Amino acid sequence: MINQNSMDTATVPEIADKAGGLSSAAPEAGFRQELPRRKFPRLMKSLKTLWQALLLFLGTRLALYLLVYLSAVIYPGDFTQFSGEPFESPEAVASDVMTMFCQFDCKWFMSIAVSGYETYPNHLTTGHAANWAFLPFYPLLGRYLAEYSGLSILQSFYLISNICCFLGLLLWIRFLRMFRLSYETRLAGAFFYCVLPYSVYFIAPYTESLFMMFTIAAFMLAMKERYLPAALCAMAMVATKNIGVMFVFPLAIIFWQHNGFRAFFKLTDLKTAYFWLAFMLVPLPMFVFQNWLWLSTGDALAFKNIQLAWGRMMGNPFMHMLEGFASGGYKAYFAAFFAGCFIPIAYLLFRKRYAEGVFLLLGALIPVSTGVNAIPRYMFGMMPMLLAFTLMMEGRPWFRNLLLTLSGMLAVFISVAWARGAFFTV
């Protein structure tokens, strides 16, 4: 029973607490204002996180771009891509930096954006290469952005890559909150995202930023059992890089973890129906691309068969690894990197992160089935690789400090080597 004397000074919320709840009568105005006051700190926290992420992103991007430019100014060597005198104007610096980072596959993306896909191979020293090996989503985004914004195609590529990288960082921060990680580990994970050893793939006009953003979104949505939106993100992954097709496996694993094995066969259940629809939608962009290749070249697998022009042939990935060790040089480096990839894969499986572990395993085996070249790009372009190292940092401050220090140093070193065309960075 509520003491009558205490009711004279008690507020409505206090009375409600004592009585076990509010009556059906309308609450007073003072109590109605409690809800906005509770929401306001959450909004401020979100804005603070956004501001911190923006500072982290801009700081690391500008540092990498500037350090690479300074390396070319101080140690020019054979570098001849300056449009004028160093630091002649902000526009000249921006133009030089964009030219420096447009290496290797960037030229292929440019060719697709400018002229579309070719009908006959006529590139490289042998004249047997064509741009069929590259999926269309990223080049087409650059083309249409340039068409409607007035930017050049190369400027559009940089804008897309950096915007997607920042949005991916925001998604990554939110994704890490789904795990029971300390604030220090989540902060280190965000920093690791920005200073990956191969950060150059995320600041150059490459597909990695776009692919990473959609990968994080697809995993987040699948873990929340929103299978159709996850499938839409996965379709964007497939249209960006062919390894995105393999998302059907983590999608199925996540469904099994949430609903059990028998749920796969409950076809009258709405959730199961959504899952199977999502499962079938994921590879659709690849089928469309293959159909287009068949109509234009007569070979639906031209994206795979053209790999011969780069010396890549289908085979046992472990045999390719042994051949890499035997060849020496950068091939041995790629082979050693491939062998080391099984450490984060095994760690994810040990932590029962089966969906992420299987996706990373497929992301390692499938590219190396045609050769070890570019395996660092494939691995650090996959979200489970970041997740494995972030989970390893939990409760290990010594490892966290060591990893972030080495990663930042390697990010600068590899970016400088990339701008000079060093093939081990490809």
* pLDDT tens by residue, 44-80: 677 778 889 999 999 999 999 999 998 888 877 666 5
* Residue 401: predicted pLDDT: 95
The identity of residue 14, as a single letter, is E
Q: Which two tokens stand for residue 219?
A: 């995993």
Burial (CB count within 10 angstroms: exposed 0-12, middle 13-18, buried 19+), residue 16: middle
What residue has token string 């970016």?
415
In Å, what is the CA distance from 285 to each residue of 5, 244, 281, 290, 315? 72, 10, 8, 9, 26
Q: Which two tokens stand for residue 202?
A: 């995320």
The identity of residue 93, as a single letter, is V
Residue among 216, 191, 24, 209 at smallest CA distance from 109: 209
The mean pLDDT value for 402-421 works out to 94
Min mean pLDDT across 90-99, 320-329, 413-422 is at 90-99
pLDDT of 424 above 90:
no
In Å, what is the CA distance from 378 to each residue of 77, 405, 409, 417? 30, 22, 20, 18
The mean pLDDT value for 6-32 works out to 41
Rounded Cα distance between 177 and 139, Å, is: 33
Confidence of residue 160 (pLDDT cuts 50, 70, 90): very high
- Residues 265 and 275 sit within 8 Å (Cβ to Cβ): no
Q: What is the mean pLDDT of the chain?
A: 87
Rounded Cα distance between 168 and 236, Å, is: 14
Rounded Cα distance between 314 and 307, Å, is: 9
pLDDT tens across 108-141, in order?
999 999 998 888 887 765 667 888 889 999 999 9
pLDDT of 346 above 90:
yes
Q: Which two tokens stand for residue 303?
A: 């994206």
Residues 6 or more apart whose Cβ sits within 8 Å of residue 165: 57, 61, 202, 203, 209, 212, 213
Rounded Cα distance between 401 and 284, Å, is: 43
In Å, what is the CA distance from 121 to each residue of 102, 293, 309, 341, 426? 22, 13, 9, 34, 22
* Residue 36: predicted pLDDT: 47
pLDDT of 101 above 70:
yes
Rounded Cα distance between 83 and 94, Å, is: 10
Confidence of residue 24 (pLDDT cuts 50, 70, 90): very low
How far the first Cα of the chain sits from its last, in Å, is 76
Residue among 371, 375, 369, 315 at smallest CA distance from 340: 375
| Residue 352 CA to its chain's centroid (Å) | 22
> What is the C-alpha R_g of the chain?
26
- The number of residues in the chain equals 426
Give the rounded percent of residues in the chain with a pLDDT score beyond 90: 66
pLDDT tens across 213-268, in order?
999 999 999 999 999 999 999 999 999 999 999 999 999 999 999 999 999 999 89
Confidence of residue 9 (pLDDT cuts 50, 70, 90): very low
Task: At 392, give phi and psi (nearest 5°).
Answer: -65, -30
